[in-house]
Structure 1
């Protein structure tokens, strides 16, 4: 490593794989360049030195190097979604910039542009950029944060330009919890073919993909308490429409869930005669259940039942609400729903426990309405007297 003059400034040079490479340039004096070289050598000894000119690679080129290894760690649906984010929202806007040019101001402007629907679209499409939802922006930002983290690990940059970005506020979607009459109206409004599927969703709290991907061999109708085992879910890739089975998001997603005899009777004719690897629920004319096809039937049934805007996932919320109203502990509910931790369950449904507690307190207050304080004191004195007499 040495110092040499380069026009009006000085630069640090070194041999990398037999080639002369500029480590840093732009130093006004030879002394400042030497001081920088000493610091760079110290960082090399500590293992903190950056790759020479490593930050001068464009984001597009670095993603091209990084993606093949990262892709292997993803499930098929994540490959599809993450790949779309890179192609549609990262590279068209930021891909031409070098890693050195990415800083907090650039990433903040990128987020603002995504929120406003500003910026170029992939050249391969004729699409026009539209404002993105806060959740989508958060996902895109998280992906860029991961990419820049990989660049730090590769010693190309020192700091993550995404670390201080302010993201748009995410407004949580309102949960809907069906009452017993509403559940009845919904089931009645559905075509008979789909009633067992919806009944199972309400009775077990399964996720949609877990239910339509349920195989006959995973259901035990002869157990003392009928039950099913969740080990996979069926997902439909948005880009290709391909149906893929994949494991649950977390280890806690693999679980056994019991259900009522009434639901077991509905499932019996659907399972009879099927091989263990065949799915329980199929389309009316056979074949796998397609979410987009079912959604048309779902929307119509919800409107007929007086439940417009109800989401399929609200059946899972309804199941949780039923258990909480029955006083079941959150730990048991968390295991049944397959949440990664009880903290997730509490975050989603903890507010319902307050309503249950209010009902309990109201019931206790009503039961004690005729009890006078002086009567309680007299009874307490009598109890204490008996205790002391027994002790003597």
Structure 2
């Protein structure tokens, strides 16, 4: 009796003795299996799997995923509505960390094992864990889009917590160390250090301040945006990532005389005049300031402290007051929930109370300090 005729696909035996499986795709193209099979049974099983995919709507065009990863990744970055600094970062991650390994591979050929090997090799080569985590997260996101595009069925980035950035605990400068660093800096940057610590402002937020943002009568600083530097040296003004980033921060009264003296001596004139400018009247460059910062740290005997760590000082001091978690997040500009934003609009009095609590800590620390007095009332520049 003649064998039952196959209803889906074809299997034929090759001169090598192996078996080839082929089927007619939804696009009318005759498509062979990507490999040959040792037995006819193996070829039949493969065709059965393909038929199931077709019936369930899970079929993927095997040719579509043959696009080289680098081409797909570069287009992915270009097509996204990213901030310029973010787009620049992603382009660097693709070019430096992803393309050398995956660039010429087709998306379909990137396997979980290949991703694990790449990540381990990056770490073994001494690449920082934070950079590797960011590169892995970008790879996972790009390939996630490939899944959404129907190019691959499953994302090969399967490493648990592979994109988690484990940040080591940073040092916290004491109140007296903050004042010592402020005194060791050039006079025009003394107020910048004090605001960075006791108001927990970021570098980019500080250099973006204008005269109209500093209310000396109320003792408040309004944060409306920040300035960031691209790798080519260009500086761009950015609005906060969330509305919570736009905030008003109270200045502790102990440092207010220093801020008043700075505004009188160093800030540019006019409402739009810059609060912090360099000796030549330009917005300070981060790399130039870092040189001054490292020298000041060395002069006062502090090691491993970054300017950004001053935010941790301010946050720690604020946490010693009775501020709630929400109030702390508002002060730091890190809340993005609608409820927190509504609360923020009515929190000026509470913000002043938090600053007064920080001020009490400053006064107490200065009382305990040995040596000449003068910080609380010293307005010299």
Q: Where on the TM-score scale, by shorter chain, does this alignment land: which range?
A: 0.7 to 0.9
Q: Deviations over 1:121-170 (max 9, x none)?
A: xxxxxxxxxx2011111001000000110110000111111123574996
Q: 1:184 aligns with which of 179, 187, 203?
A: 179
Corresponding residue number in structure 2 for 1:255: 247
The DSSP-based 3-state class of the residue aligned with 1:256 is strand
Corresponding residue number in structure 2 for 1:241: 233
The DSSP-based 3-state class of the residue aligned with 2:289 is helix
Corresponding residue number in structure 2 for 1:43: 56
In the alignment, structure 1 residue 84 sits paired with structure 2 residue 92: yes
Q: Higher relative CO (CA 8 A, sep ≥ 6), structure 1 or 2? A: 2
Q: Deviations over 1:17-45 (max 9, x none)?
A: xx73527454746854653453232133x
The DSSP-based 3-state class of the residue aligned with 2:307 is coil
Q: 2:141 aligns with which of 146, 150, 154?
A: 146
In the alignment, structure 1 residue 108 sits paired with structure 2 residue 101: no
In the alignment, structure 1 residue 274 sits paired with structure 2 residue 280: no
Segments of 5+ residues of structure 2 without an aligned counterpart are 1-6, 338-381
Corresponding residue number in structure 1 for 2:377: none
Q: Deviations over 1:161-212 (max 9, x none)?
A: 1123574996633332233322222222112111121122123100111111
Q: 1:10 aligns with which of 17, 21, 43?
A: 21
Q: Deviations over 1:200-259 (max 9, x none)?
A: 21231001111111222323234xx22222221111112x11111112233321211121
Segments of 5+ residues of structure 1 without an aligned counterpart are 118-130, 343-392
In the alignment, structure 1 residue 200 sits paired with structure 2 residue 206: no
The DSSP-based 3-state class of the residue aligned with 2:25 is strand
Shift of 1:88: 0.5
The DSSP-based 3-state class of the residue aligned with 2:108 is helix
Q: RMSD across aligned C-alpha pairs, in angstroms?
A: 2.7
Q: Deviations over 1:298-334 (max 9, x none)?
A: 1111111222322101211111122222333332121
The DSSP-based 3-state class of the residue aligned with 1:339 is coil
TM-score where L is the length of structure 1: 0.73
Task: Describe the shift of the 1:300–1:5 C-alpha distance in structure 2 as closer, same or farther (beyond 3 A).
Answer: same
CA distance in 1, matches of 2:175, 2:160: 45
The DSSP-based 3-state class of the residue aligned with 1:241 is coil
Q: Deviations over 1:321-351 (max 9, x none)?
A: 2222233333212110111369xxxxxxxxx
Q: Deviations over 1:26-68 (max 9, x none)?
A: 4746854653453232133xxx332342222221232244232
Alignment of 1:1-392 (within 5 A): 3-4=9-10, 7=14, 8-14=19-25, 16=27, 20=29, 22=31, 24=33, 26=36, 28=40, 32=45, 35-44=48-57, 48-70=58-80, 73-117=81-125, 131-164=126-159, 167=162, 172-222=167-217, 225-238=218-231, 240-259=232-251, 260=253, 261-269=256-264, 270-271=266-267, 273-276=269-272, 278-340=273-335
Shift of 1:282: 0.8
Contact 1:227/1:256 (CA < 8 Å) preserved in 2?
A: yes
Identify the range of structure 1 (86-95 vs 308-317) with the bigger mean alpha-carbon deviation: 308-317
- How many residues align? The count is 318
Q: Deviations over 1:77-122 (max 9, x none)?
A: 11111110100110111112222221111100000111122xxxxx
CA distance in 2, matches of 1:326, 1:3: 73
Contact 1:134/1:168 (CA < 8 Å) preserved in 2?
A: no
